[in-house]
């Protein structure tokens, strides 16, 4: 049987990419989740939907201790900067 935690992670990582828009406090909660798969899914979400006001959150994720999260978050930072034409 699958644990509640694994099921929660599965649901978040599956449906997050399909979400139209997330509120700021929801993004912060996901960015600070203990499960790196959730943080990685959020970084991918930020990369796919680059917004200048998410740059600080993407920068925070880019410094994540888990390489899967930080790698995807660096891509999100680049996408945000490109779309917003912000200097590095």
Q: What is the pLDDT of residues 38-85, one digit of tens each?
A: 999 999 999 999 999 999 999 999 999 999 999 999 999 999 999 988
Q: Quick one: pLDDT at residue 17? A: 85
- Which residue shows structure tokens 């998410």? 54
Q: Would you say 18 and 44 are in contact if contact means Cβ atoms under 8 Å apart? A: no
**How wide is the angle at C-alpha 35 spanned by C-alphas 8 and 65, nearest 5°?**
165
Rounded Cα distance between 15 and 80, Å, is: 22
pTM of the model: 0.89
């Amino acid at each position: 049987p699958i644990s509640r935690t694994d099921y929660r992670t599965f649901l978040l990582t599956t449906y997050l990419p399909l979400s139209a828009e997330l509120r700021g406090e929801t993004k912060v909660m996901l960015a600070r989740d203990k499960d790196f798969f959730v943080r990685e899914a959020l970084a991918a979400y930020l990369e796919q939907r680059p917004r200048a006001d998410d740059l600080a959150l993407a920068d925070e994720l880019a410094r994540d201790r888990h390489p899967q999260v930080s790698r995807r978050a660096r891509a999100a930072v680049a996408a945000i900067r490109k779309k917003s034409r912000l200097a590095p």
